[in-house]
Structure 1
């Protein structure tokens, strides 16, 4: 292994985590149980959000539209919120996008996961970087109603990070990010850079998606890109389209020296992260092999590792006919040609596509896999897509729960995210074996 040791560099590390995911998953322990047990945690479309369910399920009758199923990955506790606990009035809470409410709750739990009292960090020079996307929650802003005046900071994409910083009293950089489905990994990249540059002592980084409207169901039905059978079959030959979901996750990033000094456990070292864009020349929704290749190569170079040491890749894996083969080809052209033989998978096969939260749920999956020394299976991966030539490299799909053997006392994993905006993000983390296996 060429991974620097603790004495060689003061790494950026991940020392806290929290998440909420479909199926009642409210933390790392239940998340890992779902992954290890290979469970699909989907459910019917929500009936308590005022969505036109009958119209949605009839979209295929319209000329040029694809159909959709009565299924998705929805948070059980999306509407649960104690405004008084976070110092928010009842009317303001109702006007506040549910994404902000979930972000506050999960950020609080991420601090508790480190052993930190969230009520005792006021005044600390700490940052908050949150990825979100528009959710179309609530009434139109350009009208007179009882929530007027509260919505200026209640919109999900405007002030999610500011909500957290204000609630906790953090005085470092506070940034809300929308790079589509790469938002959470972009947040991680920016947070790590801020800590590395001394802009803050530590930072919370993550993302959240709660669908205030069925906007993306309509958009992707028009593109005929929704799953035809109600499953998100990442990288499978019978994949027919993506399946929307929700989720939220946060990690705490800081320098390793601070983590050790504070007594925080180290889930993993962030060896490198990078982002880029597809550029012009093709439709903005169309992924690009060349752009993804450049990004992966750059991240490997920044990490300073032998790519053959990467044992697990948590891919984007949206189960679209175009996106999955492009992603797999880029991985073959980078990790594959370098002699790497990682197992590739995607948590979207379990929970659906959590959009802005996709990257952080994938990252936490890799960190937990490293800590437990096992790589979870990806559902529906027994029939891998025939749109790529699997004989070109040793990359394979993770079809069952497998041991993850370390190299030189370290397990290295990678995580990817690609956005409809043309943005791409990739990160490489290393999990030292001496940090593994306690309850999380």
Structure 2
């Protein structure tokens, strides 16, 4: 049987063999990401004062009629400006002109490969792909401005160059694709990488997402839409959810087919059991979620993964803390994962309660949460949800929000978890992974 036959028959699944994360609160490794989650900490903090943002005008402007007050709280990467251009063969002038999303993504791609035990230099010329989810977030001067950085601004601020920069630096010969489906970008990128590996477009893939805000513009836009949290805290699936809180973060994963990973002696973090993507189509509004689309997505993923709802121990939801978004998602989960017997449904959570909504990177941070939780056989709690939403009958669905550190027992030698990401573009992604039950070894 050939490698392509194995892929087509499903006997050679795609697996995750490495990852790297950065999140608010100084988080820069999977280990201290887990510490943040298990210690039930919230990593939100004041707006950064070193980015040249007019914060006084920002907060004062949100008090105008028709806007919702912007609180001095968000999730920001403390190391967003830290970058060693010489290490990557980039001049300091070009580095400053680069959107920090390029810098963070490049840094994490390198770390993810090291985490997987792969020497990045060994990939030169190989059919390795790179799929990165990102959105344009207003970094740098306009192209029409004559500045010291002119000449580097097109490549420095182009979304397409985020993945291209990684491919160029590492000399990867596979596909290099930047994906923008708004808040589902990172998980959409992982989905495309899985499909590329299954089809043979590449034999290894870097995939994930990045978000670093070049301006506080998203806060202003959501202030006008009255979709920001009342008090600057994100409360997913809570009866007191009042809006979201914007944040920054990044996550990159290394994916291979199982046969190659085993042949090369990789530590397999998870099997990708299902990877599904669809669109809302026409809903009640361009940016409004669709319960019908989410039900179709979840049902297809459960079937593709070959599991039943009670086999899934944890669902890391999109959970933005907005009333409409959470209500729609909860109804869709109740109709699918809630089909389990009462008390047997998965524990539901959202890392946005810890770090805020990391926008294009949200799905990557959600997937990383599932992986670190499964490795430690423990589901971390979702903050601010002690009184869960009244939008569904929790007792009859079997769904529960994780309120405390909860043991995650293995089932048939593995732990099965799922993660969702929904974009205001209407693009929805849902991925199901299984993590083998084994003693945890420090890397």
- Superposition TM-score, scaled by structure 1 size: 0.96
Q: Per-residue deviation at 1:61? A: 2.5
Q: Per-residue deviation at 1:260? A: 1.1
Find the counterpart in structure 2 of residue 412 from structure 1: 416
Q: Per-residue deviation at 1:246? A: 0.3
1:322 and 2:324 aligned: yes
Residues 151-170 of structure 1 aligned to structure 2 (within 5 Å): 151-170=153-172
Find the counterpart in structure 2 of residue 392 from structure 1: 396
- Which deviates more from structure 2 when the two are superposed, residues 380-389 or residues 174-183? 380-389
Find the counterpart in structure 2 of residue 189 from structure 1: 191
1:355 and 2:359 aligned: yes
CA contact (8 A) 2:283 2:289 kept: no
Residues 331-346 of structure 1 aligned to structure 2 (within 5 Å): 331-339=333-341, 340-346=344-350
Find the counterpart in structure 2 of residue 4 from structure 1: none
Q: State the secondary structure of the residue aligned to 2:155.
A: coil
Deviation readout 1:189-223 (Å, 9 max, x if unpaired): 00011111111110000000000011100110000
- Structure 1: distance between partners of 2:294 and 2:61: 33
- Structure 1: distance between partners of 2:62 and 2:86: 44
The gaps in structure 2 that reach 5 residues or longer are 1-8
- Structure 2: distance between partners of 1:281 and 1:167: 42
**Two-structure CA RMSD over aligned residues (Å):** 1.4
1:376 and 2:373 aligned: no
Find the counterpart in structure 2 of residue 199 from structure 1: 201
Residues 326/145 of structure 1: CA separation in 2 closer, same or farther (3 Å cut): same
CA contact (8 A) 1:98 1:156 kept: no
- Structure 2: distance between partners of 1:345 and 1:67: 27
Find the counterpart in structure 2 of residue 439 from structure 1: 442
1:12 and 2:24 aligned: no
Residues 71-150 of structure 1 aligned to structure 2 (within 5 Å): 71-150=73-152
- Structure 2: distance between partners of 1:45 and 1:311: 36
Q: State the secondary structure of the residue aligned to 1:412.
A: strand
- Structure 2: distance between partners of 1:201 and 1:153: 27
CA contact (8 A) 1:131 1:176 kept: yes
Residues 251-330 of structure 1 aligned to structure 2 (within 5 Å): 251-330=253-332
CA contact (8 A) 1:135 1:156 kept: no
Q: State the secondary structure of the residue aligned to 1:93.
A: helix
Q: Per-residue deviation at 1:389? A: 2.3
Q: Per-residue deviation at 1:392? A: 3.0
- Structure 1: distance between partners of 2:243 and 2:319: 10
CA contact (8 A) 1:289 1:330 kept: yes
- Structure 2: distance between partners of 1:82 and 1:251: 21
Q: State the secondary structure of the residue aligned to 2:382.
A: coil
- Structure 1: distance between partners of 2:397 and 2:391: 14
Find the counterpart in structure 1 of residue 427 from structure 2: 423
- Which deviates more from structure 2 when the two are superposed, residues 333-342 or residues 363-372? 333-342
Residues 281/368 of structure 1: CA separation in 2 closer, same or farther (3 Å cut): closer
Q: Per-residue deviation at 1:387? A: 2.4
Q: Per-residue deviation at 1:307? A: 2.2
Find the counterpart in structure 2 of residue 53 from structure 1: 55
The gaps in structure 1 that reach 5 residues or longer are 1-6
Q: State the secondary structure of the residue aligned to 2:159.
A: helix
Q: Per-residue deviation at 1:120? A: 2.4
- Which deviates more from structure 2 when the two are superposed, residues 385-394 or residues 293-302? 385-394
Q: State the secondary structure of the residue aligned to 1:322.
A: helix
Q: Per-residue deviation at 1:302? A: 1.4
- Superposition TM-score, scaled by structure 2 size: 0.96
CA contact (8 A) 1:59 1:221 kept: no
1:215 and 2:217 aligned: yes
- Structure 1: distance between partners of 2:316 and 2:307: 18
Q: State the secondary structure of the residue aligned to 1:220.
A: helix
Find the counterpart in structure 2 of residue 232 from structure 1: 234
Residues 32-43 of structure 1 aligned to structure 2 (within 5 Å): 32-43=34-45
- Which deviates more from structure 2 when the two are superposed, residues 106-115 or residues 43-52? 43-52
CA contact (8 A) 2:340 2:398 kept: no
- Structure 1: distance between partners of 2:393 and 2:54: 42
Deviation readout 1:66-101 (Å, 9 max, x if unpaired): 111101110010000111111111111111100000
Runs of 4+ in 1 over 3 A off after TM superposition: none
CA contact (8 A) 1:183 1:207 kept: yes
Aligned length: 434
1:63 and 2:93 aligned: no
Q: Per-residue deviation at 1:281? A: 4.1
